[in-house]
Amino acid sequence: MAFFKDRRDAGRKLAERLSEHADDPNLLVLALPRGGVPVAYEVAQALGAELDIFLVRKLGVPGHEELAMGAIATGGVRVLNDSVVNALNIPDKVIDAVAEREQAELERRARAYRGERPRAQIEGRTVIIIDDGLATGASMRAAVAGLRAQAPAKIVAAVPTASPETCEMFEDEVDKIVCAVTPQPFFGVGFWYDDFSQTTDEEVRSLLQ
């Protein structure tokens, strides 16, 4: 039994849980592309807020790319997973090389999605950061660390669905976590959507415009 028709529907339902932030002139809604963008678009519309994207790229261990040794985020922020780096004794020059490659991809995506428009100002604002769901929470954790480095007044993480454990885990990481539904057993983010087809670059661009 899905809770949401699609990401836009999920965004409208999530917006109801965030209504206390409506019409706050200091509010910024940030989406994790690509899946978070249709969700965040509906939230930004409902709350009367500015919408932008916040990009995160995982730094995979060379040869074992699925294992994250860290992540980089919008604004040149780098977060390292010290336990992986130390356990595998990964030298700085390897981390730097991977980070440089991922930074280039991050900038390419930013241009592809945002065009020439400047990044939204984050410092001193209440930021709601949105994805279409939390599985392990790794991307959101990297995003939060990247955001924190840019000195927002307050960080609210919000998703339509997450496992109860992952949602709870974020209580210490952000000022507020909002997970609209936390089913148990969880089965994965896509299970709770009727339509969980991939969001296209074109859709991201048009929603941001």
CATH number of 56-114: 3.30.1310.20
Contact 56, 34 (CB under 8 A): no
Which residue ranges make up each domain of the chain?
Answer: 7-55+121-208, 56-114
**Domains 7-55+121-208 and 56-114 alike in fold:** no
Give the chain as a DSSP string: --SBSSHHHHHHHHHHHTGGGTT-TTEEEEE-TTTHHHHHHHHHHHHT-EEEE--EEEEEETTEEEEEEEEEETTTEEEE-HHHHHHTT--HHHHHHHHHHHHHHHHHHHHHHHTTPPPPP-TTSEEEEE-S-BSS-HHHHHHHHHHHTT--SEEEEEEEEB-HHHHHHGGGTSSEEEEEE--SS---GGGGBS--PPPPHHHHHHHH-
Q: What class has domain 7-55+121-208?
A: alpha beta
**Distances in whole angstroms, Cα of residue 58 to Cα of each of 63, 136, 164, 180:** 14, 13, 24, 26
Shortest CA distance to 54 belongs to which of 22, 30, 76? 30
Q: 176: which strand partners?
A: 156
| 129 contact partners, CB below 8 Å, separation of at least 6 | 30, 31, 32, 54, 140, 143, 144, 147, 155, 156, 157, 158
Shortest CA distance to 31 belongs to which of 16, 45, 17? 45
Task: List phi, psi (to 5°) of 65.
Answer: -60, -25
Mean pLDDT by 10 residues, the chain (209 residues): 94 97 95 96 97 92 87 85 91 94 92 89 96 88 90 97 94 96 93 95 92
Q: Are strands 126-130 and 27-31 parallel, antiparallel or unpaired?
A: parallel
What pLDDT shows up at residue 55? 94
